[in-house]
Amino acid sequence: MEKGLQKDIPVMNREALVTMKEDSFPRQQLGTEFARPEESPFDALASTYDAWFEDEGKLIFAIEVKAFQKVLLLLPKPWLEVGVGSGRFAQALGIKMGIDPSAKLLAMARRRGITGFLAKGEERFFDEETFGTIFLIVTLCFVDSPIAVLKEAHRILKTGGKIVLGLVLRDSPWGRFYSAKKEERHRFYKHATFYSYQEVTELLEHTGFAVEKVISTLFQKPNEVEVMEPPRGGFFSDAGFTIVVARKVPEGDPKANRERPMRI
């Protein structure tokens, strides 16, 4: 079996898979052949979700993209985004491939030139050591099991590969803002679980990653974002958006802390 996709996915050469253009990719990948028995809660909200990037979220999105641009040159290819959604970040950052459990969001991503697969982050969809970098951008808070998703990312990353998390941290002003919406059963945020910075670093260590770089941005408060702002290096508790870059630590490496007790 060729590396890249698991045996229940059409087999193809891995190098071709990660470089082929959208026009040449099999159209049936988003058809009923890969339909899941359950619908994603984001299917019914796909249009509303995507419209946010052009409306109230336009400046916020630009601020976050600018922060990601500070780390892109450090990241080995090929790239994959887990939780690619409608492809907004993937298109802006040059990520060519993504997975998502929402068929409707994936259809939007495909229209933006992203090669999309209908899958969840914890599924064994790709073969091991397929990707150089995996992005999870405002995704960790929406998955059922962050440990399972991070372990699967570790498995499909090449040796020395990177994972890049884009996070709204629980204790930040924006984290508190969205946590309040969760309590109000907001249509999006009722599905979210927000984590502290310490909890995220523990999750990464427990699943075989070592943090290498942190970028912080979005220091303007909720409902007060009016100007573009530059990102800052390091962790800041008052940042609304935090990027964490971590390196895959091989099994047996002394920096791996997989046996460390989890406190979440």
Residue 148 in any domain: the answer is yes
pLDDT of residue 183: 81
Q: For position 138, which CATH number holds? A: 3.40.50.150
Given a cut of 50, is residue 8 above it in pLDDT? no
Residue span of the structural domain in which 237 resides: 27-248
DSSP state letter for 226: -
Residue 61 in any domain: the answer is yes
Give me the mean pLDDT over the 235-252 stretch.
94
CA distances from 83 to 42, 100, 120, 138 (A): 11, 5, 8, 8
DSSP state letter for 112: T
| 148, two tokens | 């399972």
Please write the tens of the pLDDT for every residue from 23-52.
333 333 333 334 454 677 778 889 999 999
pLDDT of residue 81: 98
Beta-sheet pairing, 209-217 with 232-233: antiparallel
Residue 242 in any domain: the answer is yes
Nearby residues of 38 by Cβ (< 8 Å), 6 or more positions away:
none
| 33, two tokens | 């052949």
Residue 10 in any domain: the answer is no
Which of 2-16, 34-48, 73-87, 169-183 has the largest mean confidence?
A: 73-87
| 241, two tokens | 């958006």
Residue 122 in any domain: the answer is yes
Given a cut of 70, is residue 14 above it in pLDDT? no
Nearby residues of 47 by Cβ (< 8 Å), 6 or more positions away:
none
The rounded percent of the chain whose pLDDT value lies above 90 is 70
**What is the tally of structural domains in the chain?**
1
If one counts every other C-beta atom within 10 angstroms of the C-beta of residue 77, the result is 15
Residue 262 in any domain: the answer is no
pLDDT of residue 62: 98
Q: Distance between CA 174 and CA 110 in Å, rounded?
A: 30
**Angle separating helix axes 146-156 and 197-206, nearest 10 degrees:** 50
> Over the Cα atoms of the chain, what is R_g?
18
Q: How much is the pTM?
A: 0.83
Higher-confidence position of 263 and 144: 144
pLDDT of residue 38: 64
Please write the tens of the pLDDT for every residue from 138-181.
999 999 999 999 999 999 999 999 999 999 999 999 999 999 98
pLDDT of residue 256: 57
pLDDT of residue 45: 85
- Contact call for residues 89 and 112 (beta carbons, < 8 A): no
